[in-house]
Structure 1
Amino acid sequence: MSSKINTGNYFEDFKIGQKIIHPLPRTITDGDVSLYIAFTGSRFALHSSDVLAQEFGYEKKPLDDLLMFHLTFGKSVQDISLNAIANLGYAEVSFPNPVFVGDTVRLETQIIGLKENSNGKSGVVYVHSIGYNQNGLEVLNLKRWVMVHKRNKGEMSGINEVPTFAPTTPIAKEVNIPVAKNIDTNATGGSFFFEDYEVGERLNHIEGITVDDSDHTLATKLYQNNAKVHFNDHMMKSTPMGERLMYGGHVISMARTISFNGLQNAQWIYAINAGSHCNPTYAGDTIYAYSEVLEKIELEGRSDIGLLRLRTVALKNETPQAIESAKGEDGKYLPNVVLDLDYTVVIPTKK
């Protein structure tokens, strides 16, 4: 094969401390926003209406935090997870500054951990990625870990350097969100505010969304995520899975979309504290979700907004009313649980 062909990095190619500047900076357009709504059905009003965004204090509507996450995160795939088996989890994800149509985002990554699997066929790569806009402002900060094939299967290095992560994403002294006032609940679609939620409360979101091959394939193309497991059906037919995997980030977006009913005024994602893709998701699966309120956080100096730390669990082909817990008596995730996401949202108060 010509040396001009990029075959992607395998586990052996990564080194602790290695820095990667990813290609393909992306200027975001209105088309990206419309396509994201088409693929996910997202209904959060702040990202749909310039008029409402101006009432919230913005000049125009900011990008949906998860759309920005996908468009920025997708740049790392070519260098980090082109030869991945699966993306395993996230930690300490934050969204320091809003992104708008017309902004250009880029991504840089540092390798912070490596753990070789005992089977000698793969290993887990831990990375810290930071996304920037055209002005050098940080728009995304994330840590994740991904299982990657080894080039030389059976040759063992014994490397086992696993980083530690904070249990929750640290809260900044200042939250970069305009002062929220005179919230139009007719426009947002919900009348519940920070004070209305209780720690321990569970919301069984009633909608289910079936994801077709075309939905998840086109969405992943929109994010320029070229991981083989999402696109190469010919290759995946020869694996134990037998078909292409849905991009785990798209599952997060579906769960967020479904959570709208019950969390309509939680317009912003402040952070993703931890996340696990518990079981694979495929075309034709119907996604359901429930959310639990883990913590309520008051912000110093801000009486207009508060933080809700949530746990949203996404299920495939199972309604939330049908299960009491995401895990069985053995402590393992039930087979229909596909996502366990611990994240923090911003929600206005009644003040």
Structure 2
Amino acid sequence: MGAKTNTGRFFEDYAVGQTLHHAVPRTIKMGERALYHMLYPARHALYSSDQFAQSCGLPFSPLDDLIGFHVVFGKTVPDVSLNAVANLGYAQGRWSTPVWPGDTLRAVSQVIGVKQNSNGKTGVIWVRTTGFNQHDETVLEYVRWVMVRKGNLDAPAPETVVPDLPKAVAAQDLVIPRGLDFTSYDFTLAGEPHRFGDYEIGEQIDHVDGVTVEDAEHMMATRLWQNTAKVHFDTTARPDGTRLIYGGHVISMARALSFNGLANAQMIVGLNGGAHANPCLAGDTIRAWSEVLDKAETSAPGVGALRLRLVATKGGAPFVLRDEDGKYRPEVLLDLDYWALVPT
């Protein structure tokens, strides 16, 4: 009798051009927002108040951008990263349509690259994932690459294909939500007075606050997104017997911490690149700092875009990213490059 359980794909099971239709669509409502705001100190006004969102031209408050990201990401795990050693990076991410309470999200991925590692035991795969809502509208898309174990060490190495990915999403390719208008933006209610013109390219911001992460809330969050990756739950899945904190948990924590200094960076619309530089484990205290990489005007009234580097660390001095040899310092957890919309 054939086995009915799913052991997940291994490196040799992927081929460039494959399309992966991910199972279990997810309807998300205000319960997800409540849990998200409980798990992270998230308090950007646009995602906290219907009235504030309406003053910015939206019908009501959408769900946080990263809720959509986590749900879509979670859909992909059984097919992409169930047997992953590590999630390595992101590129070419764009949010195209806000996620509204009651939307149902599903995900499809295409394999766009494969490369076996020299040890012959693992390899890297690149996938382009698209999240759709119930109207078949694209909610978001992104590329990520993952190191995956081989199931059969004797399986021949595939021809190497490494996709050529741009370093950033061009500002003119960012999608501004329909109706968004910051001309009547209430800086007092938002929490800070800083607008587009107050930020300079090269400026660095220490977000000051820290949050110590524990296994309990990390596992709650990861289950919330239906992320089944073994390394997040099963202590036998890693040689050191620890649970690896889901990288998206670090992203959301750092984004929430960035409120102090970037309270008006309301909406994430682009993900240019990202790397989980070092593992995050229970007991680590996450701190964050940002650097302004670029600025761009948009066609929406009163709306500008900031390209921001968001760095999460577990200690060390802010604004120090790499050693003299160019490698990430051991205390750096996350290096994320994204576009956010701010009032001008």
TM-score by length of 1: 0.95
Distance in 2 (CA, whole Å) between partners of 1:326 and 1:154 is 39
User: What is the Cα deviation at residue 186 of structure 1?
Assistant: 2.0
User: What is the Cα deviation at residue 156 of structure 1?
Assistant: 3.9
Question: Is 1:60 aligned to residue 55 of structure 2?
Answer: no
Partner of 2:148: 148
Distance in 1 (CA, whole Å) between partners of 2:154 and 2:6 is 23
The aligned amino acid for 2:247 is: G
Distance in 2 (CA, whole Å) between partners of 1:58 and 1:71 is 22
Question: Is 1:245 aligned to residue 244 of structure 2?
Answer: yes
The aligned amino acid for 2:211 is: I
The aligned amino acid for 2:33 is: V
Partner of 1:283: 282
Equivalent residues in 2 for 1:1-351, closer than 5 Å: 2-170=2-170, 171-172=172-173, 175-177=176-178, 178-236=180-238, 239=239, 241-299=240-298, 301-318=299-316, 322-349=317-344
> Alignment length, in residue pairs?
342
Is 2:204–2:319's contact at 8 Å kept on the other side of the alignment?
Answer: no
User: What is the Cα deviation at residue 173 of structure 1?
Assistant: 7.0
CA 1:117–1:173 in structure 2 vs 1: closer, same or farther (change >3 Å)? closer
CA 1:158–1:12 in structure 2 vs 1: closer, same or farther (change >3 Å)? closer
Is 1:119–1:154's contact at 8 Å kept on the other side of the alignment?
Answer: no
Distance in 2 (CA, whole Å) between partners of 1:242 and 1:232 is 8
Aligned Cα root-mean-square deviation (Å): 1.4
Distance in 1 (CA, whole Å) between partners of 2:152 and 2:44 is 47
| Structure 2, unpaired ranges of 5+ | none
The aligned amino acid for 2:300 is: R
The aligned amino acid for 1:305 is: V
The aligned amino acid for 1:75 is: K
TM-score by length of 2: 0.96
Identity level (%): 49
User: What is the Cα deviation at residue 153 of structure 1?
Assistant: 2.0
User: What is the Cα deviation at residue 192 of structure 1?
Assistant: 0.6
Is 1:121–1:154's contact at 8 Å kept on the other side of the alignment?
Answer: no
Distance in 2 (CA, whole Å) between partners of 1:185 and 1:173 is 24
CA 1:262–1:315 in structure 2 vs 1: closer, same or farther (change >3 Å)? same
| Structure 1, unpaired ranges of 5+ | none
User: What is the Cα deviation at residue 15 of structure 1?
Assistant: 1.0
Is 2:96–2:175's contact at 8 Å kept on the other side of the alignment?
Answer: no
The aligned amino acid for 2:184 is: N
Distance in 2 (CA, whole Å) between partners of 1:234 and 1:244 is 9
